[in-house]
Amino acid sequence: MPVFYDQMNKAVQLQQTPKRIISIVPSQTELLFDLGLDERIVGVTKFCIHPADKVKHIAKIGGTKQLNIQAIHNLQPDLIIANKEENGQSQVEELMRHYPVWISDIQNLPTALDMITKVGEITGTETKAGELINKIAKQFRALQPARPKLQVMYLIWRKPYMAAGHGTFINNMLQLCGFENVVNTLRYPELSADAIIAAKPDVLLLSSEPYPFAQKHIDEFKQMLPGAKIELVDGELFSWYGSRLLHSPGYFNALIDKLTAK
């Protein structure tokens, strides 16, 4: 029986090439479709929104952190694709008692590309995965980082304010853009309004997800940070680490041009 290793260095043993795959991670769901696995995907979460025309026909098995375990049992998967950060540990461990569960652990672009390689291997789509990685790498080579570096804060939540700190995939994307993250705390710290003001970012980026920041919030932050540039950004292009990375560098280049324009 073939054995594969996930990004937790955990052995995942399969009886055969998987035919009934469940993805409980939105960005990896999109990747599976882009690897041509449409007919083998039997279940996704309610947050798996891409590709919209295809996921609407797939059974939903709850949210990323509130999975419907019985719905998963009903689908009888032979492979589940999960993520260390996005899924709850206890539920993933429960699923591992019944099914092969492959878990990703993403901190930066290299680990994202490694994930694509390994998902290609375990699903028998190595060639397509390799082609996808080459395209993504080529796009990132064309990325023109900001010069000089901009001091940036990236907010993902409101009430309480939460930012993307160091040790996150978002932070790595900021670094590749030539942005210096003023939030030095690890992971996703809560910040007070006073802490945001004290950090003195040149630029405040308001993500479209998981909190849907909008134009009305720009006005709110302009009062807090009158000297900063405040921009709404596409959270998927900063935080989705699957095939959506194809679109990130072009978006980043346009954003950098806008933020560095005199």
Task: Give the pLDDT confidence score for residue 261 in this predicted structure.
Answer: 83
Mind listing the pLDDT tens digit of every residue in the chain (262 residues)? Answer: 789 999 999 999 999 999 999 999 999 999 999 999 999 999 999 999 999 999 999 999 999 999 999 999 999 999 999 999 999 999 999 999 999 999 999 999 999 999 999 999 999 999 999 999 999 999 999 999 999 999 999 999 999 999 999 999 999 999 999 999 999 999 999 999 999 999 999 999 999 999 999 999 999 899 999 999 999 999 999 999 999 999 999 999 999 999 998 6
pLDDT for 65 equals 95
Contact 170, 154 (CB under 8 A): yes
Residue 190 dihedral angles phi and psi, to the nearest 5°: -80, 140
Alpha carbons 214 and 229: distance in angstroms, whole number: 15
Largest CA distance in the chain: 62
pLDDT of residue 262: 65
Q: 164 vs 9, 66, 135, 153, 183, CA distance in Å?
A: 26, 23, 27, 8, 7
Cα distance from N-terminal residue to C-terminal residue, the chain: 61
Domains of the chain: 3-139 (3.40.50.1980), 150-260 (3.40.50.1980)
